[in-house]
Amino acid sequence: MSDRRNDSLQSTGSTLTSCSSEHSSELYEGAIKPATESIEKSDTSLQDLVDAAEKIIKEKFTPDPRSTYAYTKGRKKTSVQLDQVMIAMLACAEECGGEKGKRYVASAVIACSQEEDVVGALEALGTTWLTHFLFVFKTGRGHSSQPSDEPSEVLVRDGYKCVLTGFQDITHPNIDANILVVDLGVAHILRRAIGEFNPDHKSKSFKSAATTFDILVNFTHLPVKTLQDLRDQLDDASNGMTLEMNAHDGFDNFRWCLKRTETEHVYELKIFNDVGILKKPANNRVSFEDHSNQFPLDYTDKERSPVKLPDPCFIAIHAAIAGILHMSGAGKFFDELLDDYRDDEGKVPAVRSWSELEALMGEQLMREAIIQGFQSVDVY
């Protein structure tokens, strides 16, 4: 009977590639990160760094099987190319992190070439970027809810309208009969999961969050010094915008993003997948301005305090991540991976980090093994 149970365990098992996320992040923190910082400070020009990084990826990493990060569950297999993740990171870094962000990415790749096992280091770097950076932007799904007693300051700032479609919220004080009325919500531009962590500095959650924070700051050059600083900004009005449900889902899932234009607080709509976009804005442009003074407090003429507009840096980060996810195929990989762990209601797991996803995988594997084990017992 034990042999049959082992067969059941193997047939229902789910596995990731041998280079684990935890091992990769340890190599990143211990060896790759210090070497990266040294290369960043060198006098080498940005273009020379980029050229060298692209050559390393193309000649050393792409031909090697370890450039494929694979997940297998039963007969189903999905994968993503880590070399393409690196190429996409190089291509999109400048959008949100400027030349410094691009210099960080190129320097990190070159740092791997200084290790004895070059491909192993590249695999660890790609895995760390995939699991500790990109994945955090794809998980932690969920819409923020508005307080029942009063509208949020973001909703008021945006004039009780969806910034993409122009639809009105049902609580609009002066509803225009010619404009569709729907339930609106406030979307986080950068997800709250990025700033959620266990305060215990010895916990896996905190260590994982610290690595995520390090990559985020280096890639984007956000002006924050600590995890707590970042966390405090994520619930600020500058990290929110008003959207109707379908547009909200599309934004959360990086099906569309906003690209910076020459005009401040005016953005061009970039669509990767137009599913759920019920109405496109005029001239394909989305503009932000503070409408809060059009809606006096209570029934007085007292003006509201100004509400901060969406931070251009946050919008640029979302756009860069969207570009990486689509260009590299990482977005599709994450979607297929998370789909395997939907609950009975069809919801994807509310995990905040890769380590939590791995724990969920282990729990499901154990449940399936136990069920298969009992099913394999001969009944007389």
Summarize pLDDT for 273-304 with one digit per residue, the tens. Answer: 988 899 999 999 999 999 999 987 665 556 67
Kindly state the DSSP code that residue 195 receives in the 8-state scheme: G
Write out the residue range of the structural domain in which residue 171 sits.
2-375
Q: Which tokens in the block code for residue 14?
A: 């789910």
Q: State residue 113's pLDDT score.
A: 98
The whole-number pLDDT of residue 31 equals 96
Say how far apart CA 118 and CA 137 lie, in whole Å: 28
> The pTM is what?
0.87
Report phi then psi at 346, rounded to 5. 85, 10
Residue 380, in any domain of the structure? no
In terms of Cα–Cα distance, which of 290, 292, 288 is closest to 156?
292
pLDDT of residue 6: 35
Position 82 scores a pLDDT of 98
In a domain, 164, yes or no: yes
Residue 184 domain flag: yes
Please give the Cα distance from 193 to 231 (Å, whole number). 9
How many other CB atoms sit within 10 Å of the CB of residue 41? 10
How many Cα atoms occupy the beta-carbon half-sphere of 98 within 13 Å?
5
The domain total for the chain is 1
For the chain, which residues score pLDDT lower than 70? 1-19, 140-150, 297-303, 344-346, 348-350, 352, 361-380
What is the rounded distance in angstroms from the CA atom of residue 38 to the CA atom of residue 113?
14
- Give the pLDDT of residue 8: 31
Output the pLDDT for position 98: 96
Helix (H, G, I), strand (E, B) or coil at 256: strand
The per-residue pLDDT for 93 is 98
pLDDT reported for residue 145: 45
Q: What's the CA gap between 110 and 41, in Å, rounded?
A: 13
Q: What pLDDT score was predicted for residue 224?
A: 84
**β-bridge pairing 240-244 and 266-271:** unpaired
